[in-house]
Each structure stands twice: as C-alpha cells, then as structure tokens.
Structure 1
C-alpha cells in the first residue's frame, strides 16, 4: 500500500491525489493528515499557481472510512480534520479545481463543492449519503448545498440520500462541466493549465466572490476597491495592460 495522499507539482499545477483506491479514497487518519499537509504546502509554495484535487482508481472520495473511527467521538474527527481541510481550501488564494473522476459520497461531496471549479467525469456521481446511515451533513454540506441549488432541492438531496448523476449535477449547478470519461484527464489538464497561466489576481478574485456571498454590499464594494489597488500594482497587471496595448497575449508570472 502506497502513500495515502500523492502530491506533485508541474508547470504551476499542484495535483493532490487521494490514494486509497481500495476504499474509494475514504478518509482515515493518515489520509486526513496527509491531505492537510498537502494543502498547507500548496498554499506556501510560490511555484504552485493552481491546485487540482482528485482520487485514485474508480472513486473520487467516499467520505469517512467508518472502520477507522473506532472509539473516537465523531464530532472530534469532524472538528479536527474535516473542518480544517475545508477551511484550508476556502482560504487558499489560488484556484482549486475538483476533478471528480468517480463516485463522491458524504464528505467527498463537500470536498468537491468546497473547490472553486468542479469537473466531473460522465460516469461520476454524487451522493449525500449521511442520512442513509443516520447521520447529518457535515464538512460544509449544509452551507454549500442551499447556496448552490436552493433550500428545497438541498433538502431533497439531504433527506433522501439518492445518487445524483454527473448530468443531473451539472443541471443543478453542482459542477461546471461533465466530460466523457475518455477525455476527462485531458479536460482537467486543459483547465488546470489555463489557471496556472493566469495572473496573480485570480487569488483575489476567489476572495471577492467568497466574500460577496456573505457580506453586505458596502463591505464588498470597499473590498473590491482595496483589492483593485493591490491588483493594479502587481507585475501581472502591468504585463496585462502592456500586452493589451501591444495586441498580444499576456505572459503572466503570478506576481
């Protein structure tokens, strides 16, 4: 058995792969800790300009490995691990792309929805599985779902725990795009490459859109002005303006 989390960086793209395929990448303690460490490393590494999160084998992530809970209070596991990595994804000022290659269940759905962009393979699916074992949604599910699809549809998914196909997920707004399985890796590489070639302002865009969901208009307007000043002072903005004047494609460096 290999490392529970794989971490690679190439041409600005950091790929974090949950690597417990025999358990559909369900989380145990080692995978939680490896995932948290990988997210922290991606945040501090200036060579990383976007992050892709995916799963090994035929699953994306089946949530918690119930066999690994033992006698630990489940609330403690949620607070210590799930809440930590959800917070890291949301606060990471680099675009995060979920490459949902297979089934995502329980907190695996929350993991995908916490990301900034979601690509799903045609054969992939989402299952709000908590109710099926007598539990409640966690890892931000009750935050993300009603914001993305509205109260009544969120209640339907949470109360019935039915499987949602990739096509239905796209129709509901739970993912950006569905890609045929045979073209999935190429589509992920294309989007990740475009993100990695983007300007420094992408991280600030992420912050703005996130705050725009939660803060009153006057606060968002002030934050826009503040971050616009920061963006305008960046090397990437100077390059972008120069490239526009010279009628060429910009060469952003993430600075």
Structure 2
C-alpha cells in the first residue's frame, strides 16, 4: 500500500480510493499505482463492495505521473511498470467505477475517467493529455475510447495537439455526467455509488458489459499502446522532454 492512497469502505457498499498527495497535486508514483491496482482487484473480489469512487485530495484530481519517479523506473521494461499494471486492472475491473474530478486531471488523471461508468466534475476541473508533448503516445486505451466518445477530429485535438478542456466542455462532449460545486462533488459521487451498490449485482455487471461493448478490442488497443509507449519511452525525443520538464521542476 501507499501512504498517498487512502482507501475507505462505507457501510453502503462503496469503496473510496482517494489520491492524497496534495503537495504534488496528486502526481502518481509506482507505489501509488500499486495501491490503487490492489484496491480495484480487492473490490472485484469483495461481496461487500458494489462500487468504487475515485477522488483526489481537494483542489486536484491528479497531475498524472510523477515524472521523476517514472524516469527513475524507466530502466525496467514498461510491461512490468506499476502504471501499466494499474491500467490493465482498471480496464478489467468488473465493479462499477465513478470519478469525482476537482481541479487538474492530467494524463492518467483524464484517461482513467474514460474507464469509469459515471464521472462528475467541479467547475474547477481541467482535463489534459499531454502525451505527445512528452514524446510519448496515449495510454489506457484512450486512443481507442476517446474517438468513440467525442469523434475523430476532437480526439485528434486532445491527443495529438494536447488540447485541454474544462468541465463545461467535458459536459457538452459527454465526458462527464454533471458539473457541481466542489463541496457537493464527492458526496454526490458516493451517493451514486451507493445506488449502484444497492442494485442486483449480477444484473449490474451484465448490463455494464453490454454498455461497454467489445472488451477484447479495447484491451487489444491498450496493449498496442503499451508497445508503442515503451518504444517512445526509449526514444531521444522523450528523453529530451523529460530532461526539460525535470529541469524546470527543480526549485530555484
């Protein structure tokens, strides 16, 4: 487990996974990915858990990967990386998932929500997927899922040009279910989770599978992305981008 991932199970069948690293805008380390992967796997195995809610410490959902931690682990094959193991578990989780997004949601902070069954955002939510800017390619099957949600041209803006979007645009594009004040956001997400958890479990999972469509095609896209991601990770473009970012990140 990780000290920066808080996991709480409520009496009404909701597992809350809270990313709690506010000093780094909830940037994710390998240990944090491992903790979330384990929490999802346990949720699928637990009869008492009927829904999962993802949230961040107030003011940020997640700034994406902690690049310093990510670069430190880059000597190992990407197929073994905690980030990819979490993404695979995210894609295969049978328990309904809900995201409560407040503040920035960068990289995996955005692509994670594409796997959620319900997504709610505060007016302060800001989504962005800057993979190409870092010399990388999209992950978490976002190159497959996003065009099917928003259309090819809009997905190209978001993934190739790294164009960000706010909560209102996300609502208009059908990427979030609703926008509400930050003070009500988590309460509402948990209430919806409790509603899902109170429904017949088998019917929920069967309906969810029908809604989501071709699981095999989505996972194939995820694995194709992982191969391309590892190739780009070793390329000079990515190495230079990481060096620039980490150089800027150093305190003056």
**TM-score, length of structure 2 as denominator length:** 0.78
Q: Distance in 2 between matches of 1:163 and 1:29?
A: 25
Q: CA deviation at 1:83?
A: 3.1
Which residue number corresponds to residue 174 of structure 2?
173
Q: Distance in 2 between matches of 1:18 and 1:139?
A: 18
Q: CA deviation at 1:51?
A: 0.6
Q: CA deviation at 1:174?
A: 1.2
**Secondary structure in 2 aligned to 1:64?**
coil
What is the total number of aligned residue pairs between the two structures? 214
Q: CA deviation at 1:212?
A: 5.1
**Secondary structure in 1 aligned to 2:65?**
coil
Segments of 5+ residues of structure 2 without an aligned counterpart are: 218-252
Which is greater in Rg?
1
Q: Distance in 2 between matches of 1:34 and 1:104?
A: 19
Q: Does the C-alpha gap of structure 1 residues 41 and 171 become closer, same or farther in structure 2, counting only changes over 3 Å?
A: same
The residue correspondences of 1:79-94 to structure 2 (distance < 5 A) are 80-94=81-95
Q: Distance in 1 between matches of 2:4 and 2:91?
A: 22
Q: Distance in 2 between matches of 1:69 and 1:212?
A: 31
Which residue number corresponds to residue 9 of structure 2?
9
Q: Distance in 2 between matches of 1:178 and 1:78?
A: 36
- Residue-by-residue CA offset, 1:141-176 (whole Å, 9 max, x unaligned): 212211111111100111222220000011111111
**TM-score, length of structure 1 as denominator length:** 0.77
Q: Distance in 2 between matches of 1:82 and 1:118?
A: 21
Q: Does the C-alpha gap of structure 1 residues 59 and 77 become closer, same or farther in structure 2, counting only changes over 3 Å?
A: farther
Q: Distance in 2 between matches of 1:75 and 1:145?
A: 29
After superposing on structure 2, the runs of 4+ consecutive aligned residues of structure 1 that deviate more than 6 Å are none
- Residue-by-residue CA offset, 1:10-46 (whole Å, 9 max, x unaligned): 1201101112221111111110111111111111111
- Residue-by-residue CA offset, 1:96-152 (whole Å, 9 max, x unaligned): 101112210012111111111111111111011223333221222212211111111
Q: CA deviation at 1:213?
A: 7.4
Which residue number corresponds to residue 31 of structure 1?
32
- Residue-by-residue CA offset, 1:167-210 (whole Å, 9 max, x unaligned): 00111111111112232233223212211211111111112222
**Secondary structure in 2 aligned to 1:7?**
strand
**Cα RMSD for the two superposed structures:** 2.1
Which residue number corresponds to residue 50 of structure 2?
49
| Preserved contact between residue 24 and residue 57 of structure 1 (Cα < 8 Å) | no
The residue correspondences of 1:89-168 to structure 2 (distance < 5 A) are 89-168=90-169
Q: Does the C-alpha gap of structure 1 residues 186 and 73 become closer, same or farther in structure 2, counting only changes over 3 Å?
A: closer
